[in-house]
Structure 1
């Protein structure tokens, strides 16, 4: 009996003819392939649900981080008999693909990895803001404050050319838009504590564009979430924070230095399985590198081993 495979693709990112040709070349004739096209109104929810209901053993998301995240949400909710997830990164950030070592910029190479059949069980993060009744999934990280401003301010072309230096350039513009906020936080149902900072990141993976790793201890299959609180107040502290992120917890590790994560007064690292945050006023928020409005309260949790990713 032919295996069933669903392809959910974003037509604004990929040409249909090239995609179909690459799929035909990568998979044997005993694979029954169905295609679903995303739309401006639906980035993939209904399409992924149809693929699951159709009994697809593999569902491949072809597009950017938004497409991948939407398809993954549906699969993670499908339970015990959920299909495996394949990823063909075709966006700007391609954050999960970067963290999992999935080839970027080549549909045939990404499909070749999927066809090889290797699997990795990874966690899924879920977040619910303010009075929302349903959770939104994330695969890499969510955050509020300066982080969201920085993402909005960073030039995509410069990120490709200059790597982490693009974020340094963006911080100069983002700092003027972000202010230190005082908020309460509870980890794993424990006592509330009051913290203050420009930004709080909660992540399942740590690497972003430009070779920058914001959360060096974040592993997508450890059943935990990692947090980074940035609370720099002056130029000297910003310089120290950049050094901590780029050198102490980045380049130094790559050069064979200690694997111990460095925290400072201006850049603190925490970890937990669930996080509750309450803010005095609404602040800018991002999910997997995309702006997501503003939030004043936040619940974040991890779903361990939620996805079988072909990588």
Structure 2
């Protein structure tokens, strides 16, 4: 039986004719390819659901992290019979693609990887904000505080021109906007802890742009989520925190050093299957690199083996 492939593509991220030519060249002549275009009102959820309903064996998300996330969310909701997920990264961050080794910047190379047919089962995180009824899926990480402020301060036009370097430009303004918050934190069934910080990250993958790894123990298929709480304020604390991120938990591990994660007085790592946090003040929130408003609390869980990604 011919393989059925669904293409969910973001028209703001890719030229249609170039994409159709590349898809035609990548897959066998007898492959049945169906197309769904995302819209401003729907970044891909109903399109991915339509691809599932159409019986697609593979659903390919063509776009940025937002497109990939909502397509994955739809597939993860199906269960064991869900189609496999292919990714053609066309955004600024392309965070999941970076963590899974999917080629960036080349549509043909990404499609060739998909056509090769090798998949990896990965987990998916789910977050419920402020006790709401609906959960939102995430593939890489969610953040409260400084990193979300940085996204809010990033100039969209500059991001289009300079890519991820636009985030660096926004960091200075974000540092002045982020404030330390008191947090009631509970991991799995442990005791509730009273902590404080200006940044809380929870992730399924650890690498971001520029080769930086924020969550060194995060593995996308270990059935767990990793947490980083940052409270650095003084220059000395920032220096120790940056050294831990870049050297101790980054380069040193890559060159064969000790694999034990290093904490500092202002950067603490934890891991668990369920994480709950209540914040003392409404704080900026982001999901896989996209702004998601201000929140005062979140409940997070992991769905092990939620997706089969072609990578």
For residue 217 of structure 1, what is the aligned residue in structure 2? 217
For residue 81 of structure 1, what is the aligned residue in structure 2? 81
Matches for 1:129-208 after TM superposition, within 5 Å: 129-153=129-153, 156=159, 167=168, 170-208=170-208
Inter-partner Cα distance in structure 1 for 2:228 and 2:295:
18
Paired residues of 2:231 and 2:266 also in contact (CA < 8 A): yes
**Offset at 1:158?**
5.7
Which piece of structure 1 moves more, 146-155 or 284-293? 146-155
**Offset at 1:210?**
1.2
Matches for 1:1-311 after TM superposition, within 5 Å: 1-153=1-153, 156=159, 167=168, 170-311=170-311
Give the number of aligned pairs.
Answer: 307
Inter-partner Cα distance in structure 1 for 2:48 and 2:162:
34
Inter-partner Cα distance in structure 1 for 2:293 and 2:164:
25
**Offset at 1:161?**
6.0
Relative to structure 1, the CA distance from residue 88 to residue 299 in structure 2 (aligned partners, 3 Å threshold; closer, same or farther) is: same
Inter-partner Cα distance in structure 2 for 1:187 and 1:24:
48
Task: Show structure 1 runs of 5+ residues with no match.
Answer: none
Relative to structure 1, the CA distance from residue 26 to residue 9 in structure 2 (aligned partners, 3 Å threshold; closer, same or farther) is: same
Deviations 1:203-255 (A, max 9, x none): 00000111111001000000000000001121110111111111111122223
**Offset at 1:49?**
0.5
Deviations 1:125-145 (A, max 9, x none): 000101421100000000101
Task: Show structure 2 runs of 5+ residues with no match.
Answer: none
Q: Secondary structure at the match of 2:28?
A: coil
Q: Secondary structure at the match of 1:179?
A: coil
**Offset at 1:276?**
0.8
Which piece of structure 1 moves more, 198-207 or 125-134? 125-134
Deviations 1:136-190 (A, max 9, x none): 000000010112123334564666569xxx64x6443322111111110111132
Deviations 1:93-138 (A, max 9, x none): 0000000000001000000000001010000000010142110000
**Deviating runs (4+, > 6 A) in structure 1?**
none
Q: Secondary structure at the match of 1:182?
A: strand
Over aligned residue pairs, what C-alpha RMSD do you find? 1.5
Normalised by the size of structure 1, how large is the TM-score? 0.95
Deviations 1:42-93 (A, max 9, x none): 0011100000011100000000000000000000001121000000000000
Normalised by the size of structure 2, how large is the TM-score? 0.95
Relative to structure 1, the CA distance from residue 29 to residue 63 in structure 2 (aligned partners, 3 Å threshold; closer, same or farther) is: same
Inter-partner Cα distance in structure 2 for 1:172 and 1:27:
46
Paired residues of 1:159 and 1:209 also in contact (CA < 8 A): no
